[in-house]
């Protein structure tokens, strides 16, 4: 699979088959992502990848925490989405909820849909991603380079993903399952596995802006 093809094939998948990904395939995906660039090659990503019973323990801890407490991420979430970002965000929510058949006014349906995050969308594997708390913006860029590398390597191996910051919003629950040192802050989780095409949410497609909204080519 070429890079262009992988870029076009990757999308967030929010419903997975139970079938686990073979360990050798997982290893190959993470080995490929390990080639990601980073500032001075510091390679700041620290990642715990769950399978089997560990994924189930993580799911249970997250669902129970999310049903009982307010989210409290270790890295602050954006509070405000000024335009044009607000419009993109609304369109993204609309695309997902309409694929799932959840109406705008259906508060309970929206809540259930949101809780799917904490079940990691039934994925057989979750990669919980952390970073040294002493780092700031640029290490976040490093993490972004690694994350997209991971998702593209996964797609090439036939494995679907959903990056989910929601999976890091109940850090104590995650830390009760995984021995993540306190010096590392949780950033997000990546649900990984084989897509269940029968799940309605997987019909969601997002669009991208015209190139001219983001990119300015400058000649002489
Ligand atoms: C850093 C990051 C955090 C995200 N967090 C969530 C999340 O918590 N829940 C979710 O359903 N999707 C999450 N997403 C997926 C985005 O909503 C998705 O990438 C975006 O809508 C574009 O759609 P696509 O991935 O299908 O191309 C996240 C994506 C990124 C890159």
Nearest-CA residue for atom 6 of ligand 1: 164
Ligand 1 closest atom vs CA 205: 26
pLDDT digits (tens, 9 = 90+) for 128-142: 999 999 998 999 999
pLDDT digits (tens, 9 = 90+) for 148-179: 999 999 999 999 999 999 999 999 999 999 99
pTM: 0.97
Residues pairing with 185 in the sheet: 131
Look at residue 190 in the predicted model and tell me its pLDDT. 98
| Non-local CB neighbours of 187 within 8 Å, separated by 6+ positions | 74, 75, 129, 130, 131, 140, 143, 165, 168
Look at residue 220 in the predicted model and tell me its pLDDT. 86
Place of tokens 């990056």: 163
Q: Cα dist. 143→105, 118, 175 in Å?
A: 36, 22, 20
CA of 218 relative to ligand 1 center, distance in Å = 31
Look at residue 136 in the predicted model and tell me its pLDDT. 87
Query: Please, which pLDDT band fits residue 95 given cuts at 50, 70 and 90?
Result: very high
The answer to whether 195 touches 16, Cβ cutoff 8 Å, is yes
The answer to whether 199 touches 51, Cβ cutoff 8 Å, is no
Q: Is the pLDDT of residue 13 over 90?
A: yes
Domains (range + CATH), the chain: 3-80+117-204 (3.40.109.10)
């Amino acid at each position: 699979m070429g890079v262009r093809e992988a870029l076009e094939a990757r999308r967030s998948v929010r419903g997975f088959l139970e079938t686990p990904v073979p360990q050798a395939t997982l290893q190959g995906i993470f080995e490929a992502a390990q080639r990601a660039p980073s500032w001075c090659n510091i390679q700041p990503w620290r990642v715990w990848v769950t399978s089997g019973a560990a994924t189930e323990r993580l799911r249970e801890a997250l669902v129970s925490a999310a049903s009982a407490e307010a989210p409290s991420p270790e890295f602050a979430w954006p509070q405000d989405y000024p335009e044009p970002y607000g419009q993109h965000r609304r369109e993204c929510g609309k695309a997902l909820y309409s694929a799932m058949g959840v109406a705008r006014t259906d508060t309970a349906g929206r809540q259930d849909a949101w809780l799917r995050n904490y079940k990691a969308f039934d994925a057989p594997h979750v990669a919980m991603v952390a970073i040294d708390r002493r780092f700031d913006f640029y290490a976040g860029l490093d993490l972004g380079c690694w994350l997209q590398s991971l998702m593209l390597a996964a797609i090439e191996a036939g494995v679907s993903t959903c990056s989910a910051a929601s999976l890091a919003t109940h850090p104590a629950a995650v830390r009760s399952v995984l021995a993540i040192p306190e010096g590392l802050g949780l950033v997000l989780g990546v649900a990984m596995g084989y897509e269940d095409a029968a799940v309605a949410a997987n019909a969601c497609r997002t669009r991208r802006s015209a190139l001219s909204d983001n990119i300015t080519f400058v000649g002489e």
